[in-house]
């Protein structure tokens, strides 16, 4: 008897979230197992309000387009999951005859997927990892992270060359990247440092370590005593020793971390140090021009393999990418991780990757290997820097 299957995109979008959807739809519609293939709209809000989009009719050109565009075509976003909401989800799935459900998202989504699986024992629930923050346990890296990391590397490299040109006017540039609770994205800026040999060392500040303003000033002054300029990379979720964000703002009635770069640049200027702030912003997760091809192919493959896992009768699991070397981005190895073992947990940057002065080169080597491709215009950037560095 054929089943009805549904998919949900939840949380913040990425450059390859639609790629996982396309892979899933391709596999599901070409399978002989399904009557209906639907997507619930706007994440868990759609599951609760019973709003769906039928996906069986998507053509080859539409699926191809999905594989290369950012965002979440079904709508994603955040929506509270309550006991009454779980009851409504169970009723809606029963009403539509849905016996298989795939949820694509980060650690909050995997926590919610575990809750849905417990509330709907007759429904197979499978998770596909998705997060630019790379803070999911159970997978070596998450689809979305490699493209965001590549964008950050290219953006920060460009900002570094610009700062070098303006160093007689602006001595410190503070660049803020995403990362509310973990610093995987901030660490990715080391790709830029690695691509500019002998550039004055960047300073990194991640949420994994508490931030002290006076120590920050001491380090800046020591650096400027030896170098003509300084590039500082900070996570938006930088926290003081008390555990509170050093800067935050309100959006949608909730306070979220952000504004650390502006705050620190202002503090530097108040102490007589010329400084400017830059915020890379939403483009980190929504760009197409710095898309990492391996990231895209892994996202597509996980979408396809979710269908395979469902048809094997498995449930209450997330598909993870193992840490073993990847032979083929189009057909990566997959490990199944129980949802209950990762639900609600955040994975910080491994302490072995963090040094007193920044990011250990082993992290940059790991990330470059996972990306499988260099930053754009890597060779020309290195040549241009070699000319500029003659002034060192």
Number of C-beta neighbours around residue 287 at 10 A: 18
pLDDT tens digits, 205-219: 999 999 999 999 999
Residues 351-367: tens digit of each pLDDT: 999 998 789 999 999 99
Same CATH fold, 147-288+350-391 and 3-144+291-342? yes
Active-site position among 114, 133, 135, 295: 133
pLDDT at 326 over 70: no
Average pLDDT value for the chain: 95
Residues 6+ apart with CB under 8 A from 354: 206, 208, 209, 360
Please say whether the beta carbons of 51 and 41 come within 8 A.
yes
Active site residue 360: no
Per DSSP (E only), the strands in the chain are 3-9, 34-40, 52-54, 98-105, 124-129, 172-177, 203-205, 230-235, 248-251, 254-257, 275-279, 317-320, 335-338
pLDDT-derived band of residue 329, with 50, 70 and 90 as boundaries?
Answer: low
Closest residue by Cα to residue 374 from 385, 364, 384: 364
Specify the pLDDT at position 140: 96
Q: Which CATH number fits domain 147-288+350-391: 3.40.50.300, 3.40.50.460, 3.40.605.10, 2.40.30.10?
A: 3.40.50.460
Specify the fold of 3-144+291-342: Rossmann fold (3.40.50)
Between CA 87 and CA 261, with CA 345 as vertex, the angle to 5 degrees is: 115
Phi, psi dihedral angles at 40 (to 5 degrees): -80, 140
Separation of alpha carbons 79 and 115, rounded Å: 14
| pTM, entire model | 0.96
Tell me: the pLDDT tens digits for 113-142?
999 999 999 999 999 999 999 999 999 999
Encoding tokens for residue 273?
Answer: 């140090």
User: What gap in Å lies between CA 285 and CA 247, rounded to an integer?
Assistant: 21
Structure-token pair, residue 285: 């997760």
Domain ranges for the chain, please list them: 3-144+291-342, 147-288+350-391
Q: What is the pLDDT of residue 327?
A: 57
């Amino acid at each position: 008897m054929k089943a009805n299957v549904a998919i949900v995109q939840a949380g913040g979008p990425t450059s390859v979230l639609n790629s996982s959807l396309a892979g899933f739809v391709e596999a599901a519609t070409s399978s002989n197992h399904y009557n209906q293939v639907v997507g619930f709209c706007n994440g868990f809000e759609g599951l609760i309000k019973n709003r769906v989009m039928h996906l069986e009719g998507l053509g080859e050109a539409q699926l191809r387009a999905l594989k290369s565009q950012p965002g979440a075509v079904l709508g994603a976003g955040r929506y509270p999951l309550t006991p009454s909401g779980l009851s409504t989800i169970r009723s809606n799935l029963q009403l539509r005859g849905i016996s298989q459900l795939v949820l694509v998202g980060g650690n909050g989504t995997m926590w919610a997927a575990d809750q849905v699986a417990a509330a709907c024992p007759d429904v197979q629930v499978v998770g596909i990892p998705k997060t630019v923050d790379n803070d999911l346990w159970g997978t070596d890296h998450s689809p979305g992270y490699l493209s965001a990391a590549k964008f950050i590397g290219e953006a920060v490299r460009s900002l570094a060359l610009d700062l070098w040109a303006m160093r007689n006017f602006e001595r410190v540039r503070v660049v803020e990247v995403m990362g509310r609770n973990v610093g995987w994205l901030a660490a990715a800026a080391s790709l830029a440092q690695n691509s500019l040999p002998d550039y004055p060392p960047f300073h990194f500040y991640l949420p994994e370590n508490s931030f002290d303003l006076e120590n920050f000033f001491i380090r800046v002054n020591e650096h400027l005593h030896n170098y003509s300029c300084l590039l500082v990379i900070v996570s938006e979720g930088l926290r003081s020793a008390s555990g509170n964000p050093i800067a935050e703002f309100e959006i949608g009635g909730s306070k979220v971390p952000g504004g650390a770069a502006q705050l620190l640049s202002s503090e530097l200027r108040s102490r007589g140090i010329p400084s400017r702030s830059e915020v890379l912003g939403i483009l980190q997760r929504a760009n197409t021009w710095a898309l990492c091809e391996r990231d895209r192919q892994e996202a597509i493959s996980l979408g396809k393999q979710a269908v395979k896992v469902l048809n094997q009768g498995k449930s209450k699991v997330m598909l993870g990418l193992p840490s073993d070397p990847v032979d083929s981005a189009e057909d990566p190895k997959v490990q199944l991780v129980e949802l209950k073992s990762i639900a609600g947990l955040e994975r910080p940057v491994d302490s072995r990757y963090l040094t007193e002065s920044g990011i250990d080169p082993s992290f940059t080597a790991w990330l470059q290997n996972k990306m499988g491709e260099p930053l754009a215009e890597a060779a020309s950037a290195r040549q241009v820097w070699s000319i500029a560095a003659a002034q060192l």
